Copies of this chain bind each other. A is one copy, B any other.
């Protein structure tokens, strides 16, 4: 009758005490084993590990956190643009956050509704924000966040503000490399389709293209540069313009895969074989790159790794701030890769019949 009023346990999952009992040690020792603290004798550790395995024990994140573990609420702004990118980004965030007591709050926001969305997120007590493109370049958003002194990571931005954190690839170098690749294949006239004017990656990619054109002494003709906005439709128009040129390019490098896919569509509409008559390549390696046919040669941004890094950086920053510090704001550059698929080839011999 001394039973204090039945336990309130609801889930019948094993607890740290169950493990301790089975291993014949105290809960504290189990805790030490779990957290990889040094001071546990090997024999003890082994017994504990056995018990953990036998019971299929998994620690309760909630209890852990409550007992002094830190926790993090990270907001992700989801704009309607770049849906392809977003999915991969989110998976990376979720994965990394789960490893570190992080919770990801996704806030959808319509164009123009960014400020309201952020307001909402901030009221929900998020500790920091992740900004996938194009938000990392949005002046009003950035200004607001800076004023509020919210920790922020900009992802895939060409040029992130100094006070923020960022994770990107070297857009300029990647575009340079792709352009050189095309040049090495034998293309002299390479068309380029730019991205949206308000994103800094756009400028970087264009600069990379220009560098390579200059370095390899390719045809440097401004009519070879067509303005796009990262949207498929803008790619359609840009490709038309480029292919209408009296001396049309033999290769077109679009600033993203959507516009490259559009270029392929236009080429086909004109009975041009890709890559036989026209080489087309993209940038990002989004789902679209392997959806269309031929599959696109492109620059791979490791989006989900970048997301993981971003979450990591952000948590570090938040932790530092909680501890009072935080002076450095790392801007990390991750590796990209040039992925060759079926959309590039050596140019067909030009009309003036060399051979």
- CB within 8 Å of B: which residues of A? 8, 10-11, 13, 56, 58, 60-63, 65-66, 68, 70-71, 78, 83-84, 86-88, 90-91, 94-95, 98, 103-106, 108, 123-125, 231-233, 236, 258, 262, 265, 268-269, 271, 287-288, 291-293, 322
Q: If the complex has contacts A71-B62, A84-B287, are A125 and B268 also in contact, measured as CB distance less than 8 A? A: no
Name A's interface SS: helix
Q: 6 nearest interchain CB pairs?
A: A87-B87, A268-B269, A83-B287, A62-B62, A62-B65, A232-B291
A268 to B261, CA, bound (A): 14
Contact (Cβ within 8 A) B68 A66? no
Q: Which B residue's beta carbon lies closest to that of A287?
A: B83
Q: If the complex has contacts A68-B8, A71-B62, A293-B232, are A95 and B106 also in contact, measured as CB distance less than 8 A? A: yes
User: Which of these, B63, B78, B94, contacts A106 with CB under 8 Å?
Assistant: B94
A245 to B179, CA, bound (A): 42
Q: If the complex has contacts A78-B91, A84-B84, A91-B78, are A291 and B65 also in contact, measured as CB distance less than 8 A? A: no
Contact (Cβ within 8 A) A232 B10? no
Contact (Cβ within 8 A) A293 B95? no
A87 to chain B: which residues have CB within 8 Å? 83-84, 86-87, 90
Q: Which B residue's beta carbon lies closest to that of A236?
A: B293
Please give 10 more A-B residue pairs, beta carbons under 8 A apart, in addition to A62-B62, A63-B66, A288-B291: A11-B322, A60-B66, A61-B62, A62-B66, A90-B90, A90-B91, A98-B105, A233-B293, A258-B291, A265-B292
Q: Which B residue's beta carbon lies closest to that of A91?
A: B106
A232 to chain B: which residues have CB within 8 Å? 291-293
A83 to B288, CA, bound (A): 10
A66 to chain B: which residues have CB within 8 Å? 60, 62-63, 66
